[in-house]
């Protein structure tokens, strides 16, 4: 069973060109599933039945896993078994008949305009690190790109004269406008800080760490946490906080959802609509507090 999982992981990496985060998530969920099956004396993938799968999902529920976690695991299993069917290793997908539990969408954490200004103002001074950090924070808020997308940026992805950043979204390219403070911060970093930070002249990564090599996602997340703490921001900062704030503030200031969807790289506009609902709730709240006869 583990051998089929390993083959599937190779397929994700080499054929589907999935991101490393996606691959790690799939591997973790499938190893957990295999471990459960082994405990119940099932070691061959062909032995897995609908009853076995049902037992596995029920065990997750009784262990108080969140509906979102169960839903993700089921999606992984459906994809895995569909792969095995296409390879001719299984005749039918035993996971196809299962419906995912209803997942209540959480309202994303969003910073206020004042909190954003406080956060972006934290990297102070003219040290190479401060110049780099200022550019990264400004770019995250100016474009709404994912942290993983930002650390994957190459120098060639910048077109500052035209005011655009080229972003690779799992093999799909999108162009995101970038102007104002972010553009100036990037120019400062590329001209003055980066040449002194890189360890090799042929380094392609835009943002590098103190060793001169590509900055990691974890490294950037750690920096975000540190600057949020320094700014006295009570909101629990995650890699998505500035992305959510970017989208929510755009919608709040009149941007149309289709444009925001394109900049965020959402394949389905329903994902973007949560920011419109957040804005409607905010307007209702303002009305209730301010109108004399509300």
Residue 92 falls inside a structural domain: no
Residue 286 has pLDDT above 50, yes or no: no
Per-residue CA distances from 14 to 23, 85, 204 (Å) = 11, 19, 22
Note whether 251 and 227 are within 8 A (CB): no
Region of poorest pLDDT, from 19-23, 229-233, 277-281: 277-281
pLDDT tens per residue, range 201-235? 889 999 999 888 888 888 888 998 999 999 998 77
Residue 276 sits at φ, ψ, to 5 deg, of -70, -40
Three-state secondary-structure class, residue 62: helix
Whether residue 81 contacts residue 90, with contact meaning beta carbons closer than 8 Å, is answered with yes
Neighbours of 152 (CB within 10 A): 20
Tell me which residue of 98, 91, 78, 100 sits closest to 8, measured CA to CA.
78
Asked if residue 50 and residue 192 are part of one domain, the reply reads no
The CATH number assigned to the domain holding 81 equals 1.10.150
Q: What are phi and psi of 149, to 5 degrees?
A: -70, -40
Mean of pLDDT over the chain: 84
224 vs 292, higher pLDDT: 224
Cα torsion angle, 202, 208, 213, 218, sign: negative
Q: Is residue 106 part of a domain?
A: no
Over residues 103-141, the pLDDT tens digits come to 666 666 788 888 889 999 999 889 999 999 999 999 988
Residue 287's pLDDT is 34
- Of 8-22, 55-69, 162-176, 253-267, give the lowest mean pLDDT range: 253-267
168 with 241, same domain: the answer is yes
The confidence score (pLDDT) of residue 190 equals 93
Q: In this predicted structure, what is the pLDDT of residue 280?
A: 56
29 & 129 share domain: no
* CATH assignment at residue 228: 1.10.443.10
User: Where residue 279 falls among pLDDT bands split at 50, 70, 90?
Assistant: low
Instruction: Quote the pLDDT of residue 265.
Output: 73
The pLDDT of residue 106: 64
Q: Judge whether 98 lies within some domain.
A: no
pLDDT at 290: 45
Local structure of 174: helix, strand or coil: strand
Residue 22 has pLDDT above 90, yes or no: no
The SS3 assignment for 285 reads helix
Looking up tokens 């973007």, which residue turns up?
272
Total tally of structural domains belonging to the chain: 2
Flag whether 271 is in a domain.
yes
**pLDDT given at position 281:** 53
Domain that holds residue 11: 2-86
Same domain (yes/no): 209, 265:
yes
The pLDDT score that the predictor gives to residue 59 is: 92
Mean pLDDT of 38-55: 91
Regarding whether 138 and 33 lie in a shared domain, the answer is no
Q: Does residue 273 sit in the same domain as residue 197? A: yes
For residues 78 and 150, state if they share a domain.
no
Residue 24: inside a domain: yes
> Could you read off the pLDDT of 234-249 as tens digits, one per residue?
777 877 888 888 888 8
Whether residue 58 sits in one domain with residue 145:
no
pLDDT at 284: 45
pLDDT tens column, 132-184: 999 999 998 888 888 888 889 999 999 888 888 888 776 677 888 887 888 99
pLDDT of residue 267: 65
Q: How confident is the model at residue 270 (pLDDT cuts 50, 70, 90)?
A: low
Confirm whether 214 is domain-assigned.
yes
């Amino acid at each position: 069973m583990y051998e089929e999982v390993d083959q599937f992981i190779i397929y994700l990496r080499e054929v589907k060109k999935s991101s490393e985060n996606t691959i790690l998530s799939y591997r973790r969920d499938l190893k957990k599933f295999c471990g459960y099956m082994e405990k119940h004396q099932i070691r061959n993938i062909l032995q897995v039945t609908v009853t076995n799968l049902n037992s596995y999902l029920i065990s997750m529920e009784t262990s108080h896993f969140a509906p979102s976690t169960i839903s993700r695991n089921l999606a992984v299993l459906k994809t895995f078994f569909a792969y095995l069917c296409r390879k001719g290793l299984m005749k039918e997908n035993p996971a196809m008949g299962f419906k995912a539990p209803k997942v209540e969408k959480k309202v994303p954490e969003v910073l206020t305009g004042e909190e954003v200004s406080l956060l972006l103002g934290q990297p102070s001074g003219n040290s190479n690190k401060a110049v780099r950090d200022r550019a990264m924070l400004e770019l995250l808020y100016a474009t709404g790109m994912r942290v993983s997308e930002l650390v994957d940026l190459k120098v060639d992805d910048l077109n500052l004269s035209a005011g655009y950043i080229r972003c690779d979204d799992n093999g799909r390219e999108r162009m995101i406008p970038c102007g104002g403070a972010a553009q100036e911060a990037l120019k400062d970093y590329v001209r003055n800080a980066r040449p002194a930070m890189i360890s090799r002249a042929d380094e392609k990564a835009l943002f590098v760490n103190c060793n001169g090599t590509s900055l990691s996602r974890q490294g950037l997340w750690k920096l975000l946490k540190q600057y949020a703490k320094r700014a006295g921001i009570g909101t629990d900062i995650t890699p998505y906080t500035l992305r959510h704030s970017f989208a929510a503030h755009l919608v709040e200031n009149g941007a149309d959802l289709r444009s925001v969807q394109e900049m965020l790289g959402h394949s389905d506009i329903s994902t973007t609509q949560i920011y419109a609902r957040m804005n409607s709730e905010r307007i209702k709240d303002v009305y209730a507090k301010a109108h004399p006869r509300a």
